[in-house]
Amino acid sequence: MRSLTTGYCKLLSPLRLTAVSCRCLSSNELKMPPCDFVPERYESLPYEHVVEVRKKNLSAALTTYYSKPLLLHQGHMQWLFDHEGRRYLDLFGGIVTVSVGHCHPKVTEAAKKQLGRLWHTTNIYLHSPLHEYAEKLTSRLPGKLKVLYLTNSGSEANDLALYMARLYTGNYDVISLRSGYHGASPYTLGVTALSAYKPGVANGFGCHSTMCPDVFRGIWGGSHCRDSPVQTTRTCSCSAGSCEAKERYIEQLKDTLDTSTARRIAAFIAEPIMGVGGAIQYPKGFLKDAYQLVRERGGLCIADEVQTGFGRTGSHYWGFQTHDVMPDIVSMAKGIGNGFPMGAVVTTEEIATSFARSLHFNTFGGNPMACTVGSAVLDVIEEDGLQDNCNTVGTYLLLELSKLRDKFEIVGDVRGKGLMIGVELVTDKKTRQPLPAEKLNVIWENCRDNGVLLGKGGLYNNIFRIKPPMCIKKEDADFAVAVLEAAINKYLDTAA
């Protein structure tokens, strides 16, 4: 195995600070790709004081990553820098939020100009950024999805989408998929089907979950189910043009509709690829059949694009397009603003009109700053070719990660599309028993020590979530895979 050096080169003086790619690594090991960006010297609160403030003045509900939490100071494109000048490849993008790159120059410049012109006015007044953005964003959605509501977060967006569906249909019951995450507001907690997020008090009435169509860990799955360059290693005996797994999971949805809801429902909400649930992909055709069942019951179909939207899947701009479906309502957030707090709901004129029967108001939704940033993000996605980059680099990264699955018994599954990727760790491939979270953490921490930041997720917290800024390059992918491989080797050597 390669030897790892966790130390870094000393920065001799703030005045002599050079591009922080000077990690002191021995001759045969992991070399971080170069970066010519020079971070500013950190001159704020000492690390120990920050930790103390965290304990005293911030809610204990706010968890931190890593045994020794990172104190981040600056970001540039796919890179983050801590208070000591160490550089990290960010493969989690602020929880799938940094879409075009940390502090992208064009987005930053647009924000600065608007900051000097008009920070805030509510949407009771006309202002150009709102109307320019509304036209620009809706032009990127197909069909009749042309009416926009702007919010401040994904939870708000999904909350509004559910409310809108209930108003329009006159029905109440909502269906979601187990292991799905849609937010933490009282409404959205009902459709979030992960117990870790449930507070144990009444919330989300009228919400029901159906079996998650997970073709790796679920009851059914085969070797041709996913829209991904990497399939499961499960055997598949389906005849051409058929998918037994899809049919079985649809039967479970029918059973939920027959036993848990009224005969007519309000909505079905699903992510095109699960985010917090661990990049779970459904059998091809599942969402299409699910949408048909829901509409037969009078319900609307909501596509939660909070993590999959804006080109991240590579082949399409929106995740729902990869399933050949047309939702009635689309919710979005996170990458919409590259880290600026904003979200949106887009629907049809007919559904939007029914929603106008009562006054709806959002003080900050559609404010000039958010709309200016959002507009610049849309421009950069096109100008920098980021959707194509997701397709090219994402496919390359998936295939390289699949080699780790072939090499290591504990790498049970690699899946995803574009730069929406999951790597699931197991105790062994035969039983698919999840690797305990504390063991996964050893690998995760080692990756951090060697300059790669990964997310975690899944029902058992045994899945690495890889959703980086969409500007990463192939050499970054090579570095990330090498670091992960070395971390797994180190873990196995220690565990032996």
DSSP string, 125-168: S--HHHHHHHHHHHTTS-TT--EEEEESSHHHHHHHHHHHHHHH
- Both structure tokens of 15: 């005045």
Q: Model-level pTM?
A: 0.93
- Both structure tokens of 407: 């090499």
Question: Can you give the pLDDT at residue 217?
Answer: 96
Question: Can you give the pLDDT at residue 119?
Answer: 93
Question: Can you give the pLDDT at residue 29?
Answer: 65
Question: Can you give the pLDDT at residue 357?
Answer: 83
Question: Can you give the pLDDT at residue 6?
Answer: 34
Q: Are 221 and 233 in contact (CB under 8 A)?
A: no
CA distance 121 to 132: 15
What residues in the chain have per-residue pLDDT under 70?
A: 1-29
CA distance 37 to 475: 17
Q: What is the pLDDT of residues 452-491, one digit of tens each?
A: 999 999 999 999 999 999 999 999 999 999 999 999 999 9
Question: Can you give the pLDDT at residue 14?
Answer: 32
Q: What is the pLDDT of residues 297-356, one digit of tens each?
A: 999 999 999 999 999 999 999 999 999 999 999 999 999 999 999 999 999 999 999 888
Q: Are 175 and 189 in contact (CB under 8 A)?
A: no
Domains by residue range for the chain, with CATH: 14-74+386-495 (3.90.1150.10), 107-383 (3.40.640.10)
